[in-house]
């Protein structure tokens, strides 16, 4: 029986007190007997938590009391065992490392496309203006090997900080197309979409909520395999149930 609620969420928002916020998050998470990881930086917060439904939702309510996080909308999935071994709350330089400090999503996001619109565009092969649509996987190569969108661009990067250089090298294959940038939950493709637009590609969108939100709303349409997650579940199937490396696609 699935009794453990797993959530993931993030928000790019200026945080002037990361050390203080870390202490409050750690104290609250420990009091609720949660496990997982919370990353805090001056650019925002990124978290993955698991526990009883009441405990997890109590932590979300605690965060939402802070006006900076009032609109957090975590993505949820369930498991029958606790997928994390400990509770970690860390202050980092970036909540997702890109090494491009000028990319500040809190100062203005790239346009997003929701799951149903993305599916419709992929169904018809073009966006609403008739431009050809391609998908761009911004994840690390080993994650892509668990599953990805049909025909997605995959530059075989080993860490997200390699993305800018890879984008410059592959700019030509994105010219004159609508690009849907995607990742697990939205955080990497949010930075990636801004970077691509600043490169001079005018029709780039981030997939709102990433693969996990896409699974939740439209299932496996145009997608092969599962989605790697950074906990002991290893990967999630399109129905958001835990899977194993048996579902891993060949590289």
pLDDT of residue 109: 86
pLDDT of residue 108: 86
Highest CATH level, class, for 4-91: alpha beta
The span from the CA of 23 to the CA of 30, in Å, is: 11
pLDDT of residue 244: 63
What is 136-180 written as a DSSP string? Answer: EE-S-HHHHTTEEETT-B----SSGGGHHHHHHHTGGGGTTSEEE
| Residue 183 annotated in active site | yes
Q: What phi-psi label fits residue 130: left (phi over 0), alpha (psi between -120 and 50 degrees) or beta?
A: left
Catalytic member of 25, 183, 189, 227: 183
Q: Residue 75 has which token pair?
A: 């993505």
Residue ranges of the chain that CATH labels 3.40.250.10:
105-247
pLDDT of residue 248: 63
Return the CATH superfamily for domain 105-247: Rhodanese-like domain (3.40.250.10)
Residue ranges of the chain that CATH labels 3.30.70.100:
4-91
pLDDT of residue 243: 84
Contact 157, 166 (CB under 8 A): yes
The span from the CA of 229 to the CA of 247, in Å, is: 13
pLDDT tens for the chain, 251 residues: list them: 689 999 999 999 999 999 999 999 999 999 999 999 999 999 999 999 999 999 999 999 999 999 999 999 999 999 999 999 999 999 999 999 999 988 989 888 889 999 999 999 999 999 999 999 999 999 999 999 999 999 999 999 999 999 999 999 999 999 999 999 999 999 999 999 999 999 999 999 999 999 999 999 999 999 999 999 999 999 999 999 998 655 565 44
Q: What phi-psi label fits residue 219: left (phi over 0), alpha (psi between -120 and 50 degrees) or beta?
A: left
What is 195-241 written as a DSSP string? Answer: HHHHTT-SSEEEETTHHHHHHHHHTTTTEEE-EE-SSTT-EE-TTS-
Element (DSSP H or E) covering residue 119: helix 115-124
Under DSSP, the state recorded for 33 is: T
User: What residues contact 181, with CB distance under 8 A and at least 6 apart?
Assistant: 110, 136, 138, 189, 192, 193, 196, 204, 205, 206, 207
pLDDT of residue 249: 58
């Amino acid at each position: 029986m699935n009794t453990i609620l797993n959530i993931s969420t993030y928000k790019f928002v200026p945080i002037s007190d990361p050390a203080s916020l870390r202490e409050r998050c750690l104290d609250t998470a420990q009091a609720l007997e949660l496990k997982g990881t919370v990353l805090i930086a001056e650019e925002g917060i990124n978290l993955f938590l698991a526990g009883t439904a009441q405990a997890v939702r109590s932590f979300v309510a605690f965060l939402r009391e802070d006006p900076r996080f009032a609109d957090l909308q975590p993505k949820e999935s369930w498991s029958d065992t606790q997928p994390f071994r400990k509770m970690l709350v860390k202050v980092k330089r970036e909540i997702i490392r890109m090494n491009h400090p000028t990319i500040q999503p809190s100062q203005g996001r790239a346009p997003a496309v929701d799951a149903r619109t993305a599916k419709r565009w992929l169904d018809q092969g073009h966006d609403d203006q008739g431009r050809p649509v391609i998908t761009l996987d911004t994840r690390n190569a080993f994650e892509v090997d668990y599953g990805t969108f049909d025909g997605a661009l995959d530059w075989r990067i080993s860490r997200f900080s390699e993305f800018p250089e890879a984008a410059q090298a592959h700019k030509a294959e994105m010219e004159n197309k609508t690009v849907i940038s995607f990742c697990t939950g939205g955080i990497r493709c949010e930075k990636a979409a801004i970077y691509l637009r600043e490169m001079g590609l005018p029709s780039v969108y981030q997939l709102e909520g990433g693969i996990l939100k896409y699974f939740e709303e439209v299932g496996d349409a145009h997608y092969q395999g599962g989605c790697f997650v950074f906990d002991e579940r290893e990967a999630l199937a399109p129905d958001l149930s835990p899977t194993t490396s048996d579902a891993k696609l060949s590289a």
